[in-house]
Chains A and B, each alone.
Chain A
Amino acid sequence: MLASVGGAILSRSLICANGLQVEIIASSFHTASTLESRIKWRSRHKPFWHTKKLSKAEDDPLTEENQTFIKQYIDKKYSGPLKEEFAPWARGKYEPGGVSKRPGVLAVKIGIQPLWLKNGKQIVTTMLHIQDNHVVKYTPRTAFEDSYMGSKKLIPKYTTVKPTDVNPNMVGFVTVGAVTTDPQKYTKDYCGLFSQCGLAPKRYLARFPVTENAVIQPGTPLTAAHFRPGQFVDVFGRTMERGFQGVMKRWGFHGMPATHGVTKSHRRGGTIGSGRQMSRVWPGKKMPGHVGGDMRWMRGLRIWRINYEENVLYVSGCAIMGKTGSVVQVCDTIAKAKKWDALTKEGEGLVDGPRYFPTAYPDDQEKVPSEEYWHTVHNFKEESLKL
């Protein structure tokens, strides 16, 4: 049921799984429908319930006095101590056995640097800068289940099959934001997302499912002390855009020889049919197309070194998705041999789990050193390696 005026869709009323009718006011949607949008790929189309982020510039420019007044108002609103209306939330305790899952952070990929291990081997590490992270919001699972998308997930696909993708340990989502920005650029709805924590709006947001003991109060800053050297992390981000690419780059085809009579088919895919019986091209036939720009997980990357002062993680590998300056999500790994429960080797110090669970709160930050290396990594302050 859609209420529209002059073609623009103003509101949408829906019936959720629990029978309630919900009105969603569409005044600040990105695009009301896929038909009206100008986004070419359906997969890049944002869902209709996403809040519109960036606001259009005003036609009338502000006077200087008004500009300074607005800046003062913003400073006054977002400075000072955080919301203290409610008592500080309880701090959970780490429990091994797969029942502790804490949120991750948003980090900016700032570059690649070599490090050397104490056995002389050189490794390549990517530096991830945890820039201005705060917990923005906590959404309990009940709130999600009451919403449109949550209720959709709970609808069983077949009459006899129950929804299985709901982990009973996960009690909710913690939303983390990174990089504080000027609220003037953003819509009122987007700034409203940050009302729970009382902070200025963030440029990047990410959501992490958490267990009960890992719920963090909105407004808590997240820093590099959230992690410890030697642990393994998963990194999630968008890969580099490569545009429309041929089969050799896209699928790893071998192409055809450069000489020996090959006519205009050096990098092409060759034949696409199987025979008379098939009489069609298989769906999913590997052909040229768009490459890159996909969201991908990189699992089980070790943190070799952490600079707590600058909030920089040195993570193994040189192929973290995205260009320098792109934002990725970093969280504890789920890889079987590298997750916290699997790190049982004595003497390495990882048996106890995360050093600060669920995160390093402001009073923990005082005890944190300026920098820490994993014990197998050569510290540049030490003498040369004489192996």
Chain B
Amino acid sequence: MLHGCLSPLSRSLRRSCSLSTRAFSITQQACQHQENSYQLGNEDDSTSRKEMSRRDYRFIFPEFLPDPNPEWRNAVRERLERKDMLERREKIEIPEFYVGSYLAVTAFDKNSPHPNKMSRFVGICIDRGGTGLRAWFILRNSIEGQGVEFMYHMYNPTVLKIEVLRLEQRLDEELYYLRDAPLEYSSVPFDMEPEILPEGSTVPVNTKVVPLNPRPWTQNWERFQDLLSGYSLHNPFPTPGKIRKQMRWMAEGNDGWQLQTLKFDLMRDYRNTVPAEEQAQIWEEVADKLEARDKQMRRVATKRAFI
């Protein structure tokens, strides 16, 4: 799988750059989200609030923004792809979720033992990515003491249902370190009921810090401490002196060499983001339909609640 080939370091660096172009970190982003987020369900129609809030659709519907690489950009293709995405969204509810949310996905599985050939997987979202119809997310859970991950494509027509059981954010945008953490931190009960947040509330940030297992790890997590803040390392277990030295350096609050340079690399940020004017054009094109669909889903949900 492609996500496994890229090192988390390079990807998290790319993420942090895109974060820096949003001009705030993930924790501040949550506060920003509180101040001027659309907050699906809010029926306020004032134009200025709408314009301000549509800017935040880049967090709720990130797959609608195209890959910023100018070599692959084409207006006609992007428009047709967005049209297909909206048509698919009319058939299935693809809810708002973030990395760290608990999701349940019902999809067709030809190897399923059930007669209807469907399987339901529940897990914590450890990563999401892809643009357009190739948007994907990874769910992680533990089954009988074994960590299991599933990658789903959001616009795949064999995906029948996507439910958000718990909508929340974490301190990081990718949680691959859960692979090196005790399994209890990746466990989500399969019979979990959806936790519905009150209307108009903000998306909570779970500031849980996950303690990692003793070495060996899948990645060199001691090097990522400046980029990812959702895990902690235990000191009293055998570590080579070279790595302990690095850990001490990080613990003193120093940045790794890459982050030191990336802070100043504005062109890299520019290359990795879609300009705000183009984003506004995209939201102008799709936001009405998305909002209408959201209202429709809410009406359906409230009807169900009354039955």
Instruction: List A residues at the B interface (Cβ < 8 Å).
Output: 110-111, 113-114, 116, 120, 122, 127, 129, 307, 310, 312, 323-325, 378, 380-387
Contacts and interface: CB of A to CB of B under 8 A. Distances in A.
Given A114-B133, A114-B134, A324-B71, A384 B76 contact: no
Interface of B: 71-74, 76-77, 80-81, 84, 87-88, 90-92, 108, 110, 116-118, 132-134, 153, 155-160
B77 A111 contact: yes
Contacts of A307: 80
A324 to B, nearest CB: 5
Given A122-B156, A387-B158, A312 B76 contact: yes
Given A113-B133, A385-B157, A127 B77 contact: yes
A161 B76 CA distance: 52
A387 B156 CA distance: 13
Given A110-B74, A378-B157, 13 more contacts: A110-B77, A127-B76, A127-B77, A129-B77, A307-B80, A324-B71, A324-B74, A325-B74, A380-B157, A384-B159, A384-B160, A386-B108, A386-B117
A113 B108 contact: no
25 contacts: A110-B76, A110-B77, A113-B77, A113-B80, A113-B132, A120-B108, A120-B110, A120-B157, A122-B153, A127-B77, A129-B77, A310-B76, A312-B76, A324-B71, A324-B72, A324-B73, A380-B87, A380-B88, A380-B155, A381-B90, A381-B91, A384-B158, A385-B158, A386-B108, A386-B117
A323 B155 CA distance: 26
Contacts of B133: 113-114
A129 B75 CA distance: 11
A387 B108 contact: yes
* 5 tightest A-B CB contacts, nearest first: A111-B77, A380-B87, A110-B74, A110-B77, A385-B157
A352 B108 CA distance: 37
Nearest to A124: B134
A111 B158 contact: no
Nearest to A114: B133
B297 to A, nearest CB: 16
A384 B90 CA distance: 11
B81 A113 contact: yes
A382 B92 CA distance: 11
A383 B72 CA distance: 30
A380 B77 CA distance: 16
Q: Which of B80, B88, B90, B91 has the most A CB atoms < 10 Å from its CB?
A: B80
A385 B134 CA distance: 17
Contacts of B157: 116, 120, 378, 380, 382, 384-385
Contacts of A378: 157
B71 A323 contact: yes
- Residue among B77, B110, B160 with most chain A CB within 10 A: B77
A383 B91 contact: yes
B84 A380 contact: yes
Contacts of B72: 111, 324
A116 B74 contact: no
A310 B78 CA distance: 12
Max chain A C-beta neighbours (<10 A), residue from B73, B92, B158? B158
B81 to A, nearest CB: 6
Contact of A387 (B77, B92, B110, B153): B110
Contacts of B110: 120, 387
Nearest to B69: A324
A116 B156 CA distance: 7
Contacts of A387: 108, 110, 117, 158
Contacts of A380: 84, 87-88, 91, 155, 157
A324 B134 CA distance: 18
A323 B80 CA distance: 19
A225 B41 CA distance: 43
Contacts of B116: 386
A323 to B, nearest CB: 6
Nearest to A380: B87
Contacts of A310: 76, 80
B91 A384 contact: yes
Nearest to B74: A110
Nearest to B118: A386
Contacts of B118: 386
B2 to A, nearest CB: 14
A148 to B, nearest CB: 40
B158 A116 contact: yes
Contacts of B134: 114
A378 B91 CA distance: 13
Contacts of A324: 71-74
Contacts of A114: 133-134
Contacts of B76: 110, 127, 129, 310, 312
A364 B61 CA distance: 40
A116 B159 CA distance: 12
Nearest to B161: A384
B76 to A, nearest CB: 6
Contacts of A116: 156-158
A385 B118 CA distance: 11
B88 to A, nearest CB: 5
A372 to B, nearest CB: 14
Nearest to A126: B77
Given A110-B76, A114-B133, A122-B156, A385 B91 contact: no
B71 A312 contact: no
A310 B83 CA distance: 12
Contacts of B81: 113
A307 B132 CA distance: 18
B63 to A, nearest CB: 13
Contacts of B160: 384, 386
Nearest to B133: A114
A96 to B, nearest CB: 34
B24 to A, nearest CB: 32
B74 A384 contact: no
A323 B157 CA distance: 29
Contacts of B132: 113
B163 to A, nearest CB: 14
Contacts of A312: 76, 80
